[in-house]
Structure 1
């Protein structure tokens, strides 16, 4: 251990407190000024609002902990994947699934929260099942978790540095939220209110605005792809590729860039409108997919966004729910699919909306990359600072 640093059990760094739930039938207990924290509120290290709150009467029936208390989830389904740790900026109450850690003298609360987060993977190894898929973290095991403890000034400096990174990430996340609102507004522009397309746009059946693609491949030098409801076109798995080795691909449909495909196999699990546009030169897809190319005078980029916004969901859900056979299999015929109607705005309006939505989507993707990069860098920085591999420089006051 570094000079001045110690490895100390968590029980020696903080006092543990248990929470509870006031009587839900007592209206006089609820809706007051005192936050009541549950797992739903533990989305980030710093508490940012709660779903429910207590009156002073309600708070008198449970534990109230002071500002800068660290909350740790010890029971919940999510514990198998993550360990929520929250630093409170004011007095709070909390339910029985949470433990409150009040830092002892010589321990900085913010440093304590960061140190716990850095040990998440180790702590999660102690999570076991409390039944019905609920995770449980034994309090005694949590208390015995060793954490590195530098002198208090160094704790505070480390917390200050990591807080700066958190603030940078929070600013990017706020910007992303604003960009997402703009993108959502653009989607509403093409979908209208309540999923009804704008009345000024004529509606036409897919059969009137597209041509089915039934092209076959004479060779096997094209990638074999499938469609995921969440991710669109994906390469088939390695196992599938091995199974395909030496087999004919004559039953597969050959798609060209810009053409669309619908995987009706995804339709029973939603979203119903799993229609995606191919963004590579060619691909082979299963013959059961409905594949089509838009007719001239239509903007494929606009319709890509339209389908992604769920333009066909309502129509397809009605067809699918009425087309499931007695044996549970899906029976969605080609004529039914191509009878679905889509709006056909003027081409200039299609292009204007499409370019705006593409730009907004690209901005969101870039912000996601920036947030992920900063988060990754922060994790590396935490590892260096919280082990003492990198020592912080403390300011020296001059008398």
Structure 2
């Protein structure tokens, strides 16, 4: 089995994308996924926030087939990372990306894995561009060398890596389904008031007996005090550790507690600054260990803790569209640095359920929350194992 150095230009064809005119509504809202650099945060691209029409495609972009490798070659993100993603469906893309299609004799997933294994070295090729951004010059990128074995070996290596990726992806799908199930139950019980036995509850003005209409600040503690030991190292949660679509809090750090938010397990973290709140950054704390039951985080977090409801109810409320619109509508400050006005929690009202209904809800969703955290830890171990194996497989040090 012989491995040889080959330039990327010998392994893949490079394609450029583009952005259809934003002022032409006939170009947007179609059925063709359109990838921008901001969405290049996942290793696999399935769908996109924006879609274009056939007219938009012909007017300014390019459709690439499934199995295309997208890379970010321009933008702020290149200062810290080289983003590369694998398309699992045909899609178009913008001008900040390059699309790579494997040439004959090159396995697409092997090429994708090779780029991932060399991400730091490729990022270091980027040069300064306008307005503090970075740019990856095509001549340097296409000349970058990777080790390539024969096609059969490529396929074997790619299969070994994909086994890890598929397990991680499957767990991520399970996490998304579990979270959506919890939110559906919350909306059905506490917004639509179709909780178990609702038919037999007497009601006054459409409100079930025993359900009290209260402000969020009457049911939830906002930024509660947390005791901690000075000069001790605790977990620290930066803003980027919060997900835009999930309760998971990942990629935490270790720091001595000073300023910023302080919290404990079963607290909800809500981003209070624009655009983080609008983008959905919200987390549920359940990763802390017994020996370190306290953590700190960004000064731009609002900590929400259950007082007369349940922690799971609090998190689901923080993710609810109506609540988020209310919080966003309260934001004050200069453009680009607006923050939630904490008085908004006094003016947002919800129904506090009776204790038996809350207990029933907790009994159903608590296992979902715990399984989400378990799957997250499993994925972390899988990533660590894959990332340790990847450079050894891609260099030929370890044979499949």
Partner secondary structure for residue 148 of structure 1? strand
Q: How far did 1:342 drift?
A: 6.4
For residues 17 and 366 of structure 1, do their structure 2 counterparts lie closer, same or farther at Cα, with a shift above 3 Å needed?
Answer: same
> If you compute each CA radius of gyration, which structure gives the higher value, 1 or 2?
1
**1:131-210 matches, cutoff 5 A:** 131-189=130-188, 191-192=190-191, 199-200=207-208, 201-203=211-213
Query: Partner of 2:364 in structure 1?
Result: 356
For residues 353 and 11 of structure 1, do their structure 2 counterparts lie closer, same or farther at Cα, with a shift above 3 Å needed?
Answer: same
Kindly indicate whether the alpha-carbon contact (under 8 Å) linking 2:323 and 2:348 is maintained by their aligned counterparts in 1: no
The Cα RMSD (Å) is: 5.7
Q: How far did 1:138 drift?
A: 1.8
Distance 1:68 1:151 in 2: 20
Distance 1:227 1:138 in 2: 36
**Residue-pair matches, total:** 353
Distance 2:139 2:124 in 1: 14
Query: Partner of 1:366 in structure 2?
Result: 374
Partner secondary structure for residue 166 of structure 1? helix
Q: How far did 1:159 drift?
A: 1.2
**1:160-309 matches, cutoff 5 A:** 160-189=159-188, 191-192=190-191, 199-200=207-208, 201-203=211-213, 238=256, 240=258
For residues 292 and 391 of structure 1, do their structure 2 counterparts lie closer, same or farther at Cα, with a shift above 3 Å needed?
Answer: closer
Query: Partner of 1:86 in structure 2?
Result: 85
- Give deviations 1:242-272, integer Å, cap 9, x for gaps: xxxxxxxxxxxxx9x9999999xx978898x
Point out the more displaced range, 41-50 or 347-356.
41-50
Partner secondary structure for residue 15 of structure 1? strand
Kindly indicate whether the alpha-carbon contact (under 8 Å) linking 1:312 and 1:340 is maintained by their aligned counterparts in 2: no
Point out the more displaced range, 309-318 or 58-67.
309-318
Partner secondary structure for residue 100 of structure 2? strand
Partner secondary structure for residue 132 of structure 1? helix
Query: Partner of 2:201 in structure 1?
Result: none
For residues 115 and 348 of structure 1, do their structure 2 counterparts lie closer, same or farther at Cα, with a shift above 3 Å needed?
Answer: same
Query: Partner of 1:15 in structure 2?
Result: 13
Distance 1:111 1:332 in 2: 50
Query: Partner of 1:98 in structure 2?
Result: 97
Q: TM-score w.r.t. structure 1 length? A: 0.64
Q: How far did 1:86 drift?
A: 3.3
For residues 350 and 311 of structure 1, do their structure 2 counterparts lie closer, same or farther at Cα, with a shift above 3 Å needed?
Answer: farther
Query: Partner of 1:5 in structure 2?
Result: 3
Query: Partner of 1:246 in structure 2?
Result: none
Partner secondary structure for residue 4 of structure 1? coil
Distance 1:331 1:45 in 2: 36
Kindly indicate whether the alpha-carbon contact (under 8 Å) linking 1:19 and 1:98 is maintained by their aligned counterparts in 2: yes
Q: How far did 1:153 drift?
A: 0.9
Query: Partner of 1:248 in structure 2?
Result: none
Kindly indicate whether the alpha-carbon contact (under 8 Å) linking 1:127 and 1:136 is maintained by their aligned counterparts in 2: yes
Query: Partner of 2:246 in structure 1?
Result: none
Q: How far did 1:165 drift?
A: 2.2
Distance 2:303 2:46 in 1: 46
